[in-house]
Amino acid sequence: MAAVGCAKDADEATRTYPLPHELCGTQIDRESFDPVFPPGDTLETDAHITETTDKNTTATHNCVVTVDGSRAFSLSSIPATQADGVEDYISERGFTLDTDNPEYRSTGSYEIFTWPHIAVGFSNCTESQLGNSGVGFIIDIGEEQKLKDIESLSAALESYMDGRISQIGPESCTFT
């Protein structure tokens, strides 16, 4: 008698590293990030973040995530000085992204534009000692790694934004 099962193909790549609860010094929702993590055995991060004297962080944060030595994706948060929303932030930073056709998501606190390989989010500052108008957030998986379900990229960025916003000190930006 033959048994029919749902066995994986021998060539199908698997992910053997555990999904983290914290990524690049930032608490994340593992479920939101699950589709973004590629198959492989070893996850490593290279984060650049500056703590302030009161154990908060500045608004600038850059991190590259690698799996088995290859770049999987990058995360960053960067302050804005003139922007009032995600489209203004994209323009202020000089990104060459087509803002006519992204998927748009608004959570009330911030906006997110998403394409198949990158998501850009923005949250306004209600107050900033440094003159920041807001903070932009980016997850970039690279054009060669485009996701079919871009909503999952947006959800991953939203999780990252939630974690980063709670770390950014009031001198950089106070959020609503």
Residues 1-54 have pLDDT tens digits of 344 444 444 456 899 999 999 998 899 999 999 999 999 999 999 988 887 777
Find the DSSP H helices in the chain: 30-33, 86-93, 150-165
Task: Name the residue with tokens 């485009």.
Answer: 146
pTM of the full structure: 0.87
pLDDT-derived band of residue 147, with 50, 70 and 90 as boundaries? confident
pLDDT-derived band of residue 102, with 50, 70 and 90 as boundaries? confident
* SS3 at position 150: helix
CA distances from 47 to 63, 84, 118 (A): 4, 27, 19
Q: What is the CA radius of gyration of the chain?
A: 18
d(CA 19, CA 15): 9
- Is 152's pLDDT higher than 50? yes
User: What is the average pLDDT across 151-175?
Assistant: 92
* SS3 at position 77: strand
User: What is the average pLDDT across 109-134?
Assistant: 92
d(CA 81, CA 78): 10
Structure tokens at 4: 């029919």
d(CA 144, CA 104): 22
pLDDT digits (tens, 9 = 90+) for 53-91: 777 888 999 999 999 999 999 999 999 999 999 999 999
d(CA 22, CA 25): 6
pLDDT of residue 100: 81
Q: Are 87 and 95 in contact (CB under 8 A)?
A: no
Structure tokens at 17: 């590293």
Q: What's the sign of the alpha-carbon dihedral 95, 138, 71, 62? A: positive
